[in-house]
Amino acid sequence: MESVSAFFPAYNDASTIGGLVEKAVGVLRHTGRDFEVIVVNDGSTDDTPRILVELQARYAGVLRVVHHTVNRGYGGALRSGFGAATKDLVFYTDGDGQYDPSELALLLQRLEPELGLVNGYKIKRHDPFHRIVIGKVYNLFVRLLFRIRVKDVDCDFRLIRREYLRLARLESDTGAICVELLRELEGLGCKSADVPVHHYPRLSGQSQFFRWRSVSSTIRQLTALYFRPRPTMQPARELWGPNAK
């Protein structure tokens, strides 16, 4: 069975990160696969660093933590997580607890040899009404503009073959990285499947996206991405060769 790196980008997620790590370790141990769990602490100013120290002691040899001394943004946290992953498959979801890591089992069940991406889509979004509306408009807009085939661009619950990630050109440090990631993967010939997953209300903290500075940076990076050439349409396995690692 292919090994799995599971990681969580975390920014001020002290109230949720412990439970997420525990669930991820539990579901991956149950699969019998070789695995690792990674948390990217993106410059948190709450108790997240202290909790991660405790978690590392509890899950020694399983949990690794990547610390950013300053907040690099969502895209920066994801790029650090992708870079730190060492296993065959890379799973990530957010550290705020709005997705259940136990449902990683659903993605693994759906994975087939010809697939490079298994992408979750929200069965029902549990957010304030204005965010639901904005999310639907945004999802439709970027799917049409960038010709992305997955159902839910904004669902950060994904399982990806690391060979594709090593070829993907990722530069965004905002939420635009989700569009950039999917565009790169599809351009590389990565085939995908969609799996329904649950989405839960945010119990603490607040979204970092709905701030003027974040929105303006995302728009700027999406504009630059639109004019950037798509990667060569060729499967990663062929680009690397049969003995690539």
Backbone φ and ψ of 104, nearest 5°: -55, -30
**Alpha-carbon span 141 to 109, nearest angstrom:** 30
Could you give the angle at the alpha carbon of 204 between the alpha carbons of 201 and 206, nearest 5°? 85
Most confident among 138-147, 213-222, 223-232 (mean pLDDT):
138-147
More confident of the two residues 216 and 95 = 95
Task: Tell me the pLDDT tens digit for each residue of 3-35.
Answer: 999 999 999 999 999 999 999 999 999 999 999
pLDDT at 83: 97
Task: Give the CATH fold of the 4-239 domain.
Answer: Spore Coat Polysaccharide Biosynthesis Protein SpsA; Chain A (3.90.550)
The model's pTM is 0.90
When pLDDT is averaged across residues 200-214 and rounded to a whole number, the result is 68
Instruction: Tell me the per-residue pLDDT of 194-206, one tens digit each, with 9 for 90 and over.
Output: 999 999 998 765 6
Question: What are the Cα distances from residue 115, in Å, to 44, 86, 107, 168?
Answer: 35, 19, 11, 16
Tell me the percentage of the chain whose pLDDT exceeds 70. Answer: 90
pLDDT given at position 216: 83
Enclosing H/E stretch for 26: helix 17-31
pLDDT for res 239: 37
The CA distance from 209 to 169, in Å, is: 22
Strands 4-10 and 35-42 come out as parallel
Strand partners, 36: 5
pLDDT tens digits along 51-99 = 999 999 999 999 999 999 999 999 999 999 999 999 999 999 999 999 9
Give the strand order in the sheet containing 4-10: 63-68, 35-42, 4-10, 89-93, 157-161, 117-122, 192-197
pLDDT of residue 215: 77
